[in-house]
Structure 1
Amino acid sequence: MGIDYKLTEHLQKYFGFDRFKGQQEEVIKSVLDGHDTFVLMPTGGGKSLCYQLPALIMDGTAIIISPLIALMKNQVDSIRSFGTEDGIAHFLNSSLTKAAAQKVRDDVTSGKTKLLYVAPESLTKEDNIDFLKNVKISFYAIDEAHCISEWGHDFRPEYRRIKPIVSEIGQAPLIALTATATAKVQHDIQKTLGMLEANVFKASFNRPNLFYEVKPKSKPESQIIKFIKEHEGKSGIIYCLSRKKVEELTETLVVNNIKALPYHAGMDSTTRSGNQDKFLMEEVDVIVATIAFGMGIDKPDVRFVIHYDIPKSLEGYYQETGRAGRDGGEGICITLYSAKDIQKLEKFMQGKPVAEQEIGRQLLLDTASYAESAICRRIILLNYFGEKLEEPCGNCDNCVNPKEQIEAKDEICRALQAIIEVKEKYKAEHLSDILTGKKTAAIKSFRHYELEAFGSGNDHGEKFWNAVFRQSLIAGFIYKDIENYGLLKMTQKGYDFLENPVDFLLVRNHDYDAIEEEANAAAAQASGAGDPELFSMLKDLRKKISKKLNLPPFVIFQDPSLADMALQYPITLEELKYIQGVGEGKAKRYGKEFVELIKSYVEENEIDRPQDMVVKSVANKSKIKVGIIQSIDRKLSLDDIAASIGIDMKDLISEIETIVNSGTKINIDYYLDEILDEDRQEEIFEYFREANNDSIEDALKELGEDEYTDSDVRLMRIRFLSELGN
């Protein structure tokens, strides 16, 4: 009958399948024939079977080296469920008691055990090495082999010691398996394991059923809750970078009636595996996790994967999104992106060895480039893994809603010239201020207003210039010196571009930081953001109240708050306090007439209110805000407050604005008296009393940009709103 039929027979006998998937059969034959074998198969392609079946067929015990204890347990349970004898598969790791470890050794020695899962750390222990020297080993399988490579997304130094230890235990064929590896990572794995002559099997990286989308991160909690409510009852994973964010986001989801549980390495292993099991058993819909979750998770019907934070590498991104739609059904992959997140990840690299920093920087650039690109997401991803896709996929945001691009050759040249003019000694933010012609304190003290570049880019805003610097980084014209405060330096490629500029397309509106702010100011024009008719009625009501109280309208509620009301239709003061920029104080003080108007409007027009969109927040969520209020009460200098919580002055002012906009009274007179004399304070205060709006740009034009800085005016606006509005 021949070997093919027999293999199918074994497949049927052990796993109950009647046919192989993709290249599984060829891989298994390669292992059975005693060849070293390298397998690159995307998540859901059936990698595990490639070593499980030959291990069951061959004489001896296969040693499976695997990085995670939870993953080993899963795999062992899965193998045992196919057979009648528990001893057929075991794991040997630090979680076992002495007696349990002895039972494993006895089963292996007696020949019962066909698969022995071992953590790389356990493999290096002397007594384990001595024990394995006397075992008949069929082959070694190195699962999640990308952990070997420093260029891989989950590098583990102990993986690099596998080859010498395997040689010490005894020679047998090797099979290395991974779901993601670029050509560089693949070569690194084969070289480190001494298997450059291995048979290589690569499956396509294309997962046509996955929809890829990158969204600007504006109000992430609201964005996520709205999405989950629209996909009620479906299974999903949300990835966050920090354990703290995992805990916070899970709490917020639960408060908003979403069945969610957290998962991260800081939890005790019982709780963690309990949460994982509840997700697998569909007792909860959503798991919020750090990247510790998911290696080898075999849940076929995960319908969405959301990245709250941008991942550190495209390989990590591909592997994590690959957990969606493994059954070939719907799989929506959404990433919330903010350029600030990239800066945060860069900060984490400070202090690491130079080689590691260079690798990390390159991986981050690839990720930023993917997030900010206007071309088909699938083309970029497949190209990254060395695969060509001829036509755009039609199943990603860039294909479904193409982005407008603008020619920015001239802008790139101006940005590069500014870097050269300041002798490569400044960061992007300072350079943006130079280009837009802003006389900040730093620009005054360095006399940078005398530079040729000063004001040469005032046809655009600072957010646009920040985007130009980011795109220049991605294009390789400049690099960021992470160790040295993030100063921007020129590369040879940048000098070549200045010498001979060529067309350069920039995605319009791909200035993500600007989009964040615009999204927060959510179309005060009410262009599709909410109900235009209600928006206009709310503006009229605000005008009426402002006349009665003799206050500028923006003191009562700002436009973004009205736009949010027109979107969410709050009809009680309780609901109103969750509206953007309102809070409890303002809701009580000005809210009564607004909710009455909205309530009657909703009844008259029989409107279905999107109740799920009022995102309930978790009490005491913002310790930072409480800390800021207490520090201001103690009259601490704002510079000291910013330094103590690790943010810059601009961000601190934004935090204070949020506090004041939501109705809390704050007194910063003591700080203002230090930086502005009485007459100047009075001038700005009077300006806002007469102004039609609270725009800082308009205020600076009126008051004189040479006279006042952006911070001066923002701080005085805080005093004005706090005194008159709260």
Structure 2
Amino acid sequence: MSDTLTTAPTNLLPAAQQALKRYYGYDNFRPMQGDIIQNILGGRDTVVLMPTGGGKSVCFQIPAVVSEGTCVVVSPLIALMKDQVEALKANGIAAAYINSSVGQNESNDIARAAVSGHLKLLYVSPEKLLSDGFLQFLNRVNISIFAIDEAHCISSWGHDFRPEYTQLGQLRNHFPNTPIIALTATADRLTKRDIITQLNMREPRVFLSSFDRPNINLIVRPGQDRVGSVIDYIGRHPQDPGIIYCLSRKTCETISQKLLAKGIKAAHYHAGMTPLQRGKVQEAFLQDDIQVIVATIAFGMGIDKSNVRWVMHYNLPKNIEGYYQEIGRAGRDGAPSTAILFYSFADVMQMREMVTKDVPARQAQLNTAKLERMQQFAEAASCRRKILLNYFSETLAEDCGNCDICRNPPTTFDGTLIAQKALSAVFRSREKVAINLLIDILRGMRNQAVLQGGFDQIKTYGAGRDLPYLDWYSYIHQMLNDGLFYIAYEEGYALKITERGHQVLKGELPLPLRKFQPSEKAEKPTRASKKAANAASTAAVGTPEAQLFDKLRKLRKAIADEQGVPPYVVFSDATLQEMAAERPVSRVGMLGVSGVGMKKFETYGEAFIKLILEHGGGGQYVPSDSDSMFNEPRPRLAKPEPADKPVSDSEDATIQFHQMGLTPEDISERRGLALSTVKTHLYNAYAKGRELRIHDFVSDSELAEILTARAQLGNDATLRDLFDHLREKYDYFQLRMAALYHKRLRGQ
């Protein structure tokens, strides 16, 4: 049998146009569809990367209709097969599927129809395709095309890897002359390469459609009060169908029940339900009998519902590929739609554990790296659409104007010189270094990795020693998001410079960056003065810092004893003193403490953060500093102002009662004062530098929520604006106290 591929008869091209009109009702193909179809009809292997809703299915269905024989479509999900076959039949095209849901008698009927040439498309699962006897059966069928749908499932680099897909390379051996078309709505550089290799494709033509979906409004919101935010949004869009993606089955059921209790037509969908139950929910959603479907990622692949107006991610997705594919289920009709992602750093910690548990080390490393890219998207300070498109190797010339960042852009500065230092270091390191090593090179560190690689000899070694680690960490990730680098996962996560990066390096393109620590930066105390201040504060017996320092030392001792090492090997006293003064309660905050490196954070960080939270009255990770996307400077606990500003006798009496543990209401009753007067005393004293138990008035989570709202409203917002924005959840006293607390955190 010859391996020479045939050329498409030219008379099939007008037939394709006629079939489009006849079966689908369209006069013209969408951009790129006509070229793809012509390539397939020419008998050539084809790879199609096209966003959800871009019209991928037509690219193989039309050639199947106009060609002799049967197109065999490999599809990963029964629901997907069912939807597409029903749609084809509705269009008058002979199609069927064979999978585990089809009985033996029906399968036999379908097989006879395929052999006799009465089927134009036959959908099968990869397991069925490769089962005993099925390939032999296909030898009796006149096969026109093999179409591999959701082809990213073939790659271990992809976000939805399925081992059974890796055996599909056998098709080329059994059917050497049959063209193969691979289709996916999401594939990065490595996944695309894997698809071509594993399917044994022969010089395929790759069609890459724009991944831009400009009609989708991209929004990231804080993770506090998610249920309230969801209900509020649906209440303002009572007729718009939407999907809420959740991490767990239990969450899906809980959220669905809460929506139903509010009178919202909702249902849940997850893999723990029976196929019949899932089918009923999906059908009800497709039929608009329910407005909202609350689902795990088990739902949605291949769903053709075109009027989904919004998609929410209740939890952080594990990678950008999955996020992009899921938001693509909104606005398939091209009308304005919305994608909302709820984000908190606690989500990152939870997801990190999930993606690294019970998987090989290489896969865990890859999963972690992709999760970090998702985290960077959520924390972005630049156009979110640009970040998405850069991830898929596509450049957007201008900011999109249809994301939350574009509508409320952060303050930036000319970061071209900083970027050039980083780009030069990558270039002179022969593009072999990952992010952490690059930062070490720029800062002139003399650790083993730097010295062994000879990176201390390059010209840009130490060129960025004037900036601390976290500043570089922020700037390099901004550069990554802006498309100056990409990460070569297959080469030890080395950074590679893009064409855009070379333009910045040569000075042909300026680069704005967001300041990691705006105005406070110039007034930041020196390291020596900071250590002295910390030492002084922790030396004072009985102060909160001293009490926390003592607890941190006891924890360090317990860990050291358990591991059989000296306590200083865990952390030095200076490190614990800085922890006691700054009280970091997040990954980035902890990494900002001198003496806490990545490895130590991974080993000990959680235990120390937990203790700090317990000491401060918290109980969970608090989204703060750079772990949030609120564009606030990273908080620093400043030394309290000296309490030497005059305090009235009446105020002093109120403070004394407060220090005894009385609530403002108790003080009001005890002193015979109006409650508003007591609160004014407390506010004035705190403003003058007196130490109060702020958490008696506003908890950690409430402080975080108020901070988030302030950031969303901007600097010009009034207290009344904040009061209204939070739907009168907090009184003015709480809002004022929170504002003072945040001000003192920033050291202002």
TM over 0.5, shorter chain: yes
Q: Which runs of 4+ in 1 moved over 6 A?
A: 405-408, 413-416, 479-482, 484-488, 513-516, 549-555, 612-615
Aligned residue among 21, 35, 55 for 2:44: 35
Identity of aligned residues (%): 38
Structure with greater contact order relative to length (CA < 8 Å, sep ≥ 6) = 1
Cα offset for 1:4? 4.7
Instruction: Indicate how the Cα distance of structure 1 residues 321 and 545 shifts in structure 2: closer, same or farther if over 3 A, else same.
Output: same
Identify the residue that residue 343 of structure 2 maps to in structure 1.
337
Please tell me the residue identity of whatever aligns with 1:149: S
Tell me if 1:221 matches 2:254: no
Identify the residue that residue 390 of structure 1 maps to in structure 2.
397
Aligned residue among 102, 113, 118 for 1:107: 113
Cα offset for 1:411? 6.1
Tell me if 1:512 matches 2:628: yes
Identify the residue that residue 573 of structure 1 maps to in structure 2.
none
Identify the residue that residue 61 of structure 2 maps to in structure 1.
52
CA contact (8 A) 2:579 2:593 kept: no
Instruction: Indicate how the Cα distance of structure 1 residues 3 and 132 shifts in structure 2: closer, same or farther if over 3 A, else same.
Output: closer
Identify the residue that residue 481 of structure 2 maps to in structure 1.
none
SS across alignment from 2:468: helix
Q: How does 1:551-700 map to 2 (within 5 A)?
A: 559=697
Q: How does 1:141-180 map to 2 (within 5 A)?
A: 141-165=147-171, 167-168=173-174, 171-180=177-186
- The separation in 2 between residues aligned to 1:513 and 1:560, in whole angstroms, is 22
SS across alignment from 2:338: strand
Aligned residue among 241, 244, 262 for 2:247: 241
Cα offset for 1:508? 8.9
Instruction: Indicate how the Cα distance of structure 1 residues 167 and 80 shifts in structure 2: closer, same or farther if over 3 A, else same.
Output: same
Identify the residue that residue 359 of structure 1 maps to in structure 2.
366
Aligned residue among 291, 302, 310 for 1:304: 310
- The separation in 2 between residues aligned to 1:35 and 1:45, in whole angstroms, is 22
TM value normalised by structure 2: 0.62
CA contact (8 A) 1:139 1:175 kept: yes
Deviation string for 1:462-504 (max 9, x for gaps)? 14663473999xxxx957997x78899xxxxxxxxxxxxxxxx
CA contact (8 A) 2:37 2:59 kept: yes
- The separation in 2 between residues aligned to 1:345 and 1:167, in whole angstroms, is 40
Instruction: Indicate how the Cα distance of structure 1 residues 415 and 383 shifts in structure 2: closer, same or farther if over 3 A, else same.
Output: closer
Identify the residue that residue 210 of structure 1 maps to in structure 2.
216
CA contact (8 A) 1:41 1:203 kept: yes
Identify the residue that residue 189 of structure 2 maps to in structure 1.
183
- The separation in 2 between residues aligned to 1:101 and 1:9, in whole angstroms, is 32
- Structure 2: unaligned runs, 5 residues or longer: 1-9, 416-465, 475-526, 528-544, 561-566, 608-622, 635-662, 680-692, 706-722, 730-736, 743-748
CA contact (8 A) 1:412 1:468 kept: no
- The separation in 2 between residues aligned to 1:318 and 1:480, in whole angstroms, is 33
CA contact (8 A) 1:42 1:179 kept: yes
Cα offset for 1:151? 1.4
Cα offset for 1:458? 6.5
Cα offset for 1:370? 1.1
Identify the residue that residue 373 of structure 1 maps to in structure 2.
380
CA contact (8 A) 2:268 2:293 kept: yes
- The separation in 2 between residues aligned to 1:514 and 1:6, in whole angstroms, is 55
Identify the residue that residue 292 of structure 1 maps to in structure 2.
298
Q: Report how many residues are paired.
A: 511
SS across alignment from 2:577: coil
Cα offset for 1:117? 0.1
- The separation in 1 between residues aligned to 2:572 and 2:24, in whole angstroms, is 76
- The separation in 2 between residues aligned to 1:412 and 1:135, in whole angstroms, is 62
- The separation in 2 between residues aligned to 1:166 and 1:256, in whole angstroms, is 55
Identify the residue that residue 701 of structure 1 maps to in structure 2.
none
Aligned residue among 575, 585, 591 for 1:453: 575
Tell me if 1:277 matches 2:280: no
Aligned residue among 195, 201, 205 for 2:207: 201
- Structure 1: unaligned runs, 5 residues or longer: 419-432, 489-506, 519-541, 568-608, 616-692, 699-726
CA contact (8 A) 1:69 1:93 kept: yes
CA contact (8 A) 1:303 1:330 kept: yes
Please tell me the residue identity of whatever aligns with 2:72: I
Cα offset for 1:439? 3.9
Cα offset for 1:356? 1.1
Instruction: Indicate how the Cα distance of structure 1 residues 549 and 358 shifts in structure 2: closer, same or farther if over 3 A, else same.
Output: same
> What is the Cα-based RMSD across aligned positions, in Å?
4.2
CA contact (8 A) 1:218 1:515 kept: no
SS across alignment from 1:455: helix
Instruction: Indicate how the Cα distance of structure 1 residues 342 and 9 shifts in structure 2: closer, same or farther if over 3 A, else same.
Output: same
Please tell me the residue identity of whatever aligns with 1:512: S
- The separation in 2 between residues aligned to 1:444 and 1:514, in whole angstroms, is 37
CA contact (8 A) 2:243 2:294 kept: yes
Aligned residue among 396, 409, 415 for 2:467: 409
Instruction: Indicate how the Cα distance of structure 1 residues 414 and 370 shifts in structure 2: closer, same or farther if over 3 A, else same.
Output: closer
Tell me if 1:548 matches 2:669: yes
Tell me if 1:75 matches 2:93: no
Aligned residue among 534, 549, 555 for 1:442: 555
Please tell me the residue identity of whatever aligns with 1:61: T
Instruction: Indicate how the Cα distance of structure 1 residues 384 and 411 shifts in structure 2: closer, same or farther if over 3 A, else same.
Output: closer
SS across alignment from 1:67: coil
SS across alignment from 1:295: coil
SS across alignment from 2:182: strand
Cα offset for 1:167? 2.4
Tell me if 1:137 matches 2:143: yes
CA contact (8 A) 2:470 2:592 kept: no
Cα offset for 1:453? 3.1
- The separation in 2 between residues aligned to 1:313 and 1:5, in whole angstroms, is 42
Cα offset for 1:10? 1.9
Tell me if 1:9 matches 2:131: no
Deviation string for 1:169-213 (max 9, x for gaps)? 664110000001111110011111111510111100111111111
- The separation in 2 between residues aligned to 1:481 and 1:36, in whole angstroms, is 49
Identify the residue that residue 73 of structure 2 maps to in structure 1.
64
Please tell me the residue identity of whatever aligns with 1:455: Q
Deviation string for 1:281-323 (max 9, x for gaps)? 1111111011111111111111111000111110001000111
Aligned residue among 24, 32, 41 for 1:23: 32
- The separation in 2 between residues aligned to 1:111 and 1:386, in whole angstroms, is 42
Identify the residue that residue 255 of structure 1 maps to in structure 2.
261
CA contact (8 A) 1:463 1:513 kept: no
Deviation string for 1:369-405 (max 9, x for gaps)? 1111211111111110001112211111111112357
- The separation in 2 between residues aligned to 1:55 and 1:415, in whole angstroms, is 51
- The separation in 1 between residues aligned to 2:605 and 2:99, in whole angstroms, is 42
- The separation in 2 between residues aligned to 1:486 and 1:131, in whole angstroms, is 58
